[in-house]
Chains A and B, each alone.
Chain A
Amino acid sequence: MLNKSYYLIPIISAIISISFWIGFNINLLPEEASINAPIYDELFRILFIIGLILFLGMTILVIYSLFKFRKKTGEIGDGIALEGDLKLEIIWTIIPSIIVLIVGLYSYNIYDRMGGMNELNNHHQIKNLKSEKIWAGINQVSNTNGTNNPLVEVSAMQFAFLFNYPKGDFISGELHVPVDKTISIKMESKDVIHAFWIPEFRIKQDIIPGQPTILNFTPTKVGKYPIICAELCGPYHGGMRASIVVEDPSDYEEWFNENKKTEV
């Protein structure tokens, strides 16, 4: 079956180079605005390229066989009585297994770099919260700013997010955070399940009633990004949005103090 396999070499290399070209030149993702985002995009690119190679390869194989081996008009009879080929079958069991294994290990590495494997219970903040049921989202902690990060309490309800700043004792409808600092948010739902999603940060965490959830992230770019509810929560689910405003530390301080004064 593969006795003329040298024909395959240029085809396979063409598929691979096209896939790499598409993978590196076509961007399907939104802006990168947190420490997580470039790590995520690296994983995405690798998966995109591997996926493209496999998809293009299979599609070309199917279409090629369909036309190459089509029955010509008037032709009768059967194809070759080939019932299997152990060597080939072993090859296409082992190669996908290896690909899957490599992808799995690589995505474990990505997940670890995102802070996903960090034990949240060892984190100093959790001890202070004294709550029994704490669930962890991705626990990204940056090395430099890990100790004095601002904590915001997020309450989700049908159909809004509210952001409570305990240090300033005020509530805001917009999440303001300083850039390049690890932010810790503690999320609670007042009614049904919601989800906290910032596409530009590549993070998402369900907000589950009865279970406070901690989510840490580090924005890297000043700007205003949407916070989107991603879990069906009722008729106005599509309208349940808020904004996160990432500011320079001085702007953030100003905003914080302004609100602190008026609220107190």
Chain B
Amino acid sequence: MTILLDNKPKLKESLQPKGILRYFSFSLDHKVIGIQYLVCGFLFYLVGGTLASAIRIELTSPISDFMPRDVYNQVLTLHGTIMIFLWIVPVVNGAFGNYLIPFYVGARDMAFPRLNAVAFWLIPPSGLMLIVSYFVDGAAQAGWTAYPPLSITTPQSGQIIWIISVLLLGGSSIFGGINFIATILKLRRPGLNLMQLPMYCWAMLGTSLLVVLSTPVLAGTLILLSFDIIAHTGFFNPVLGGNVVVYQHLFWFYSHPAVYIMVLPAFGLVSEILPIHCRKPLFGYTTMVFSIMGIVVLGLVVWAHHMFTSGTPPWMRLFFTIATAFIAVPTGIKFFNWVATMWGGKISINSAMLFSCGFIINFVFGGITGVALAQVPFDIHVHDTYFVVAHFHYIVYGGSVFVIFSSVYHWFPKVTGKLLSEKLGILHFVLTFIGFNLCFAPQHWLGLNGMPRRVAEYDPQFQFVNQISSAGALLMAISTIPFLVNIFISIKNGKKSGDNPWNALTPEWLTSSPPPVENWEGEPPLVKEPYGYGNPILKENNN
């Protein structure tokens, strides 16, 4: 199969536009598509971040004074939807997956290049549609969870556009998932075993299985919800005999795995970054693979922990408590293995490494509050409060977004052939780390003491802590400035990085930076030990 693909790139090259223009074309090159995902995702991150700032401004005072109450609900709905479906999911899967997976398996492109381009080009229109819905008749305002009957009774146009948009994004995600599974399982260079692949391939295999298994359930659920809204059917509408709890079960059957769809690829990326900057093999490769698959399996049977205060019978609460808490075991293994990877290494302290370490610290914190939240009696008090808001931001921002930044610093030389400024990178890290913790750590206290989530007004006793949180959000907003400045300056005038600035052994570095269209000038290299640092024989062979 790889041999067949060998002729393709030349044809591809002659037909596609060159230079900056190719990023606006229906390019079939996996590297171009990866960058399209990344830049598009980052633009939506700026939109979602602006919405987050609006929320934090509203919450500096206990009364609703910054924007009308229904607009506030639209803002929080759009913030959640954009950050999940248009920033983290497409970037940790689509961007890095498309760029790296063909390199890692030793292929010239993804298995289905055209499907790949379609998957990307579904994203900008659905995202724009979602944002524009605000100007039609107000955007959706039932939260990103869109629980009926609220989603049935709020203005219809916004909710319907939201559903269509999420369906298209879900479709894009499924196309991507199928493509990753096919590429990893079928396009491997002859001679390359599954157990010799870089860890990110395993993370993407697990994630794609979750995408393919659970996203269709969300699609079906949202279609039924749209029937309830447009055609006045009664699947979930209690007035017509529907059941709202069934919606919650179906919704969370996707949306809990969605958390793993956002963090498993991040785990994979960290597993690539740490060994290179620590100059040590990834500790415990086999256990890492099994823990990824363990998380995939457990991740599918824990959804009802989002519903401990809905109508759930005691036995169900108990089952989901135990299943959820046990996810901590494979996750814990991964974290111990990363620390063991650092132990005894020769660590370069740079922006990529700092963001990865920040990720470990933040995620451990989010994971601990996660195990606590899994306990029914604990959850009943803090469910739907700012404690939960703090918890999941520690997972998705402190976890996934920190890894995205780490990956940008790590692979920027690969994509551009230039180095990012380390001074600006470290400034970016320090601002982000302090801002993030200042913003979200105090929110745990708010939740424990009686502040529910998704409110525009609150008890005045919480004002001071909310203002601290908003100050943290301001720091986070400021922290994007050194990042953007760094990117723009370095693309133009950055120091030349050479082909392999980190002296890495993974296959994407064993070609020129930026890589040629066909990825390698000659035959793809056979990398059986992507983490063979410290091994003298291997080092000689690779140099």
Residues of A with Cβ closer than 8 Å to B?
A: 1, 28-30, 39-40, 43-44, 47, 51, 54-55, 58-59, 61-63, 65-66, 69-71, 75, 77-85, 88-89, 92-93, 96-97, 100, 103-104, 107-108, 110-111, 114, 116-119, 135-138, 191-193, 195, 197, 199, 202-206, 208-211, 213, 226, 228-239
B325 part of interface (Cβ distance < 8 Å): yes
B69 part of interface (Cβ distance < 8 Å): yes
Q: How far is the CA of A183 from the CA of B147 in the complex (A)?
A: 30
Q: How far is the CA of A209 from the CA of B248 in the complex (A)?
A: 14
Rounded to whole Å, the gap between the CB of B538 and the closest CB of chain A is 9
Rounded to whole Å, the gap between the CB of B191 and the closest CB of chain A is 21
Q: Please count the residue pairs between chain A and chain B whose beta carbons lie under 8 angstroms apart in the complex.
A: 282
Task: Give the segment of B316-324, B416-424, B473-481 that binds chain A.
Answer: B316-324
Q: How far is the CA of A38 from the CA of B479 in the complex (A)?
A: 42
B375 part of interface (Cβ distance < 8 Å): yes
**Are A234 and B321 within 8 A (Cβ)?**
no
**Are B150 and A192 within 8 A (Cβ)?**
yes
Q: Tell me the nearest residue of chain B to A138, going by C-beta.
A: B380
**Are A230 and B383 within 8 A (Cβ)?**
yes
Query: Which chain B residues lie closer than 8 Å to A44 at the CB level?
Result: 378
Residues of B with Cβ closer than 8 Å to A?
A: 64, 68-70, 72-73, 141-143, 147, 149-150, 153-154, 238-239, 241-245, 278-287, 309-314, 317-318, 321-322, 325-326, 328-329, 332-333, 335-337, 339-340, 342-349, 353, 357, 360-361, 364-365, 368-369, 371-372, 375-378, 380-381, 383-385, 444-445, 448-450, 452-459, 531-535, 539
**Are A238 and B375 within 8 A (Cβ)?**
no
**Given A51-B368, A107-B376, A69 contacting B346 (CB threshold 8 A):** yes
Rounded to whole Å, the gap between the CB of B451 and the closest CB of chain A is 9
Q: Tell me the nearest residue of chain A to B354, going by C-beta.
A: A66
**Are B287 and A89 within 8 A (Cβ)?**
yes
Q: Tell me the nearest residue of chain B to A241, going by C-beta.
A: B459
Rounded to whole Å, the gap between the CB of B292 and the closest CB of chain A is 14
**Given A232-B73, A235-B69, A238-B456, A55 contacting B364 (CB threshold 8 A):** yes
User: Which 6 A-B residue pairings sit nearest by Cβ, starting from the closest?
Assistant: A238-B455, A210-B238, A135-B311, A81-B534, A79-B345, A199-B450
Select which of B149, B282, B283, B456 is within 8 A of A209 by beta carbon. Answer: B149
**Given A192-B150, A210-B244, A29 contacting B449 (CB threshold 8 A):** yes
Query: Which chain A residues lie closer than 8 Å to B383 at the CB level?
Result: 204, 230
Query: Which chain B residues lie closer than 8 Å to A205 at the CB level?
Result: 309, 380
**Are B377 and A110 within 8 A (Cβ)?**
yes
**Given A208-B244, A232-B454, A193 contacting B147 (CB threshold 8 A):** yes
Q: How far is the CA of A59 from the CA of B279 in the complex (A)?
A: 21
Q: How far is the CA of A107 from the CA of B473 in the complex (A)?
A: 34
Report which residue of B281, B375, B531 has the largest number of chain A beta carbons within 10 angstroms of its beta carbon. Answer: B375
List 12 A–B pairs whose Cβ atoms lie within 8 Å, in order of A's numbering: A78-B533, A79-B344, A81-B532, A82-B340, A92-B332, A96-B332, A100-B371, A208-B311, A209-B239, A210-B244, A234-B150, A238-B452
**Are A204 and B380 within 8 A (Cβ)?**
yes
Query: Which chain A residues lie closer than 8 Å to B313 at the CB level?
Result: 136
Q: Tell me the nearest residue of chain B to A50, going by C-beta.
A: B368
Q: Tell me the nearest residue of chain B to A108, going by C-beta.
A: B318
Rounded to whole Å, the gap between the CB of A149 and the closest CB of chain B is 20
Select which of A78, A96, A229 is within 8 A of B452 by beta carbon. Answer: A229
**Are A111 and B311 within 8 A (Cβ)?**
no
Query: Which chain B residues lie closer than 8 Å to A100 at the CB level?
Result: 325-326, 328-329, 371
Q: Tell me the nearest residue of chain A to B364, going by C-beta.
A: A58
**Given A59-B361, A229-B452, A82 contacting B457 (CB threshold 8 A):** no
